[in-house]
Amino acid sequence: MILFMMVTTARSTAYTRMALASFLAHTPLGPDDRVILIDNDGAAAPPANGRVELVRNRWPMGFAANVNQVLEWARGSAADLVVLNNDIIFTPGWLPPLLVDDRAILLPMTNQHVEYHVGDVVFPAFLDLDGYLGREGELRAAARQHAATWAEAAVFRPLHLSFHAFRLSHTVLTTLGPFDEHFGPAGGEDGDYRIRAHLAGFDVRCAPTSFVLHFGGRSTWRSGEADSERDAREATMLARFRAKWGDDLTELFLHGPGANAVLSRHGLTEAVAVDNVKKVIETCLMRRCRG
């Protein structure tokens, strides 16, 4: 059994509609699977498809808190959990590669990892709806191209890997428990969960042959929030992450400008080259304890 969850907001309703339509078109749902749409600010209309359950929050909650409420339902029903951003277009075959390893957190690759050109159409790292509408056929071609290109790839495990869409097996979610809600409304909790996963012996990686289109930031920094709101959110998140994990892991897992310097200073360049993320984390924590 799988619980799928997505959060929608008034600012991103148009993206949610497109995300749900592509999800329902290209996701093989089992009879016991549940699709949960969380209305975070009271703006969502009841879904037209009967497989989608609408849950209305009493007040707006941050990403971690929204995930945690469904994670508890998954834990109580012995289900896996698949968390989905609402600014994604799903392509045929995106889900099965995420289900192959119960001891890993698996994510699809996106146009933010690899940009595709199909004829005159480009799918860049960040785009808006008008960059996609009318180009549905080209996206399917890009997904086929991606699957063929990455078919022989074993792993794709960058240090900076935001949780745009991810699957938590019941084994993983019961071992790691809830997301840390102390980083603020959005940001930091995915890097924190990755660190905790590696320390507990779980892998975190992209499934190379799974590909989705991710518009990027449509519920946060590209949603129309004021610069002052964004800056305050990011400052709070960074301060709390540094307090929990230290400067080095903040640079590495939140994509700071000093990431390469951290790796070089601690002799970890080779560890990253062979995807030994646990060694990177443990070394940084050990150096932090030594002062």
Topology given in CATH for the domain delimited by 2-222: Spore Coat Polysaccharide Biosynthesis Protein SpsA; Chain A (3.90.550)
Q: What is the pTM of this model?
A: 0.93
Residue 68, pLDDT above cutoff 60 = yes
C-alpha atoms less than 13 angstroms from C-alpha of 141 in its C-beta half-sphere:
12
- pLDDT digit string, tens, across residues 106-129: 999 999 999 999 988 999 988 999
Residue 186, pLDDT above cutoff 80 = no
- Quick one: CA dihedral 164, 99, 7, 137, positive or negative? positive
- pLDDT digit string, tens, across residues 152-168: 877 788 888 889 999 99
- Judge whether 168 and 81 are in contact, CB under 8 Å: yes
Residues across the chain = 291
Residue 256, pLDDT above cutoff 90 = no
> Residue 162 — φ and ψ, nearest 5°?
-75, 150
Average pLDDT over residues 182-199: 92
- The two beta strands, 165-168 and 80-84, are antiparallel
Residue 10, pLDDT above cutoff 80 = yes
User: Domain locations in the chain?
Assistant: 2-222, 226-291
Q: Which residues pair with 213 in a beta bridge?
A: 89
